Amino acid sequence: MEIKVLDKTFVPFISEERIQTRLKEIAQQIQKDMNDEVPVFIGVLNGSFMVISDLVKHYKGACEMSFVKMASYIGTQSTNQVNQLLGLDIDVTDRTVVIIEDIVDTGNTLVALKKLFDQHRPKEVKICTLCLKPEAYTKDIPLDYVAFEIENKFIVGYGMDYDKHGRNLPEIYQIKE
Catalytic residues, by residue number, are 105
* Whether the Cβ atoms of residue 72 and residue 83 lie closer than 8 Å to each other: yes
Smallest distance from ligand IMP to CB 35, Å: 29
CA dist., res. 149 & res. 132, Å (int): 5
DSSP string, 140-153: -PPPSEEEEE--SS
* Whether the Cβ atoms of residue 127 and residue 144 lie closer than 8 Å to each other: yes
Q: Considering the rule CB under 6 A, would residue 146 count as an interface residue with ligand IMP?
A: no
x-or-dash string of contact with ligand IMP, 75-94, rule CB under 6 A: ---x----------------
x-or-dash string of contact with Mg ion, 87-116, rule CB under 5 A: ---------------x--------------
Strand partners, 83: 71
For 45, 70, 109, 110, the CA distances from 83, given in Å and listed in that order, are 12, 6, 9, 12
| Count, residues near Mg ion per rule CB under 5 A | 3
Query: Taking contact as CB under 6 A, which single stretch among the options 56-64, 91-99, 102-110, 119-127 is the one that binds ligand IMP?
Result: 102-110
Residues 6+ apart with CB under 8 A from 138: 106, 107
CA dist., res. 177 & res. 128, Å (int): 29
Using the CB atoms, write b or e for 28-51: b if 16+ within 10 Å.
eebeeebeeeebbbbbbbbbbbbb
Q: Find the binding residues for ligand IMP in span 19-58 (CB under 6 A).
A: 47
Q: Considering the rule CB under 6 A, would residue 106 count as an interface residue with ligand IMP?
A: yes
Query: Taking contact as CB under 6 A, which single stretch among the options 21-29, 34-42, 101-109, 120-128 is the one that binds ligand IMP?
Result: 101-109
Q: Considering the rule CB under 6 A, would residue 101 count as an interface residue with ligand IMP?
A: yes
Q: Which of 66, 72, 84, 114 binds ligand IMP (CB under 6 A)?
A: 72
**Contacts with Mg ion, residue ranges (CB under 5 A):** 44, 47, 102
**Contacts with ligand IMP, residue ranges (CB under 6 A):** 47, 72-73, 78, 101-109, 154-156, 160
